[in-house]
A and B are shown apart, each in its own frame.
Chain A
Amino acid sequence: MDLYSGKTALVTGATRGVGRIIAEHFLAQGASVIGFARGEARLTGPAYHHVQVDLADPLAIQKAFLGLHKQVTSLEIVVNNAAVLTSQYAMIMPPAAAQAMVNVNLLAPFIVSREAAKFMRKTKWGRIINIGSMAVSLEPMGDSVYAATKAGLSTLANVMAKEFGPMNVTCNTLGITAIESDMLAQLPRDKIEAIISGLPVPRFATPADILNVVDFFASEASGYVTAQTVFLGGVN
């Protein structure tokens, strides 16, 4: 039996990296998937609906949801995955890059979650999953704003968990380590490998590691699990 048969899932940043892995998994497990991304669709199929939207623009996100109201009647699962990363020492971090991280990594999940909750309150069922980062715990130099936005993501989920709890909507955060992706390729490989070698489980994350926790948070049985952050690889 497919895990997500009959459910509709929205994944932000669905065109590549972790978002694409999660979107493909949901599709393989029977869900209808809505992908929000700035770029063009890279997934196809009758169960996939792509929405090109600039997640740095709150109004654009609201307009995208306006379109969704005309196309889908329910939305059960949201994965706030899209993120941008500029790793740079604070004193030389371009303000525009810092602003972009706040907009995409923190403000967009807020807007997406609140608009999704308006669907979920009608069916009294929902799972909101944020993709966080080990940077929250490791606090690497250069990642001041990135780590702060990802820390904010957990707080966002925790407060929303209280507001949405009566609607049977859970909000949780998965703090991932490093996985082979376009975002990882932006960073110095030797520094990443040094960080990974210091983890309790000293290896890169695999898609299966991520999907295991996504499935846990999204499952029917996890209705009593909310306001939690799970880190991979032994990060805490």
Chain B
Amino acid sequence: MALREAALREAAMGIVLDALESLNQELDLSDRVAVGPTTPLFGADATMDSLSLVSVIVDVETALTLKYDAPISLTDDRAMSREISPFDDVATLTDYIVELISEIAPA
């Protein structure tokens, strides 16, 4: 069980980091964001603007949807109403993705 979750987490983190790399390819050098587990996505510490965050979310949703062959939304009511936002940083988004995937593809 723990092994599966670790694999899911690694895959999810990879998808999020790929989305950040993809975003950076579209941004000017001076606007590029750090790519790592602690990169803030939303909030006071985040350096990306709202449209950039939308780009990251769309890329992650598309990758997950194709990988798991089912429409996956990261921005539904459940995500938005959480005390700790899934969009705080890469790690919290990864946690949320693992949670979603565990529900649609149980072990």
Contact = CB atoms under 8 A, between A and B. Distances in A.
B51 A66 contact: no
B31 to A, nearest CB: 13
A63 B65 CA distance: 9
A166 B71 CA distance: 26
B46 interface: no
Contacts of A49: none
A121 interface: yes
Contacts of A63: 71
A62 B62 CA distance: 11
A59 B71 contact: yes
Contacts of B70: 66
B66 A62 contact: no
| Interface size, A (range) | under 10
B71 A62 contact: yes
A146 B23 CA distance: 40
Interface residues of B, number: 9
A118 B69 CA distance: 17
Interface in A56-91: 59, 62-63, 66, 69-70
Interface in A126-172: 166
A118 B51 CA distance: 13
Contact of A66 (B55, B58, B71): B71
Contacts of A70: 66
Interface in B60-103: 62, 65-66, 69-71
A121 B55 contact: yes
A121 B58 contact: yes
B62 A69 contact: yes
Contacts of B58: 118, 121
Nearest to B69: A66
Interface string A108-135: 0000000000100100000000000000
A69 B51 contact: no
B25 to A, nearest CB: 11
A201 to B, nearest CB: 42
Nearest to A62: B71
Contact of B66 (A59, A69, A121): A69
Contacts of B62: 69, 118
Nearest to B65: A66
A123 to B, nearest CB: 13
A118 B73 CA distance: 14
Nearest to A61: B71
Nearest to A118: B58
A136 B62 CA distance: 35
A211 B52 CA distance: 36
Interface of B: 51, 55, 58, 62, 65-66, 69-71
Given A66-B66, A69-B65, A121-B55, 7 more contacts: A59-B71, A62-B71, A63-B71, A66-B70, A118-B58, A118-B62, A166-B51
- Top 8 nearest A-B pairs (CB, nearest first) are A62-B71, A118-B58, A69-B66, A66-B65, A118-B62, A66-B71, A63-B71, A59-B71
17 contacts: A59-B71, A62-B71, A63-B71, A66-B65, A66-B66, A66-B69, A66-B70, A66-B71, A69-B62, A69-B65, A69-B66, A70-B66, A118-B58, A118-B62, A121-B55, A121-B58, A166-B51
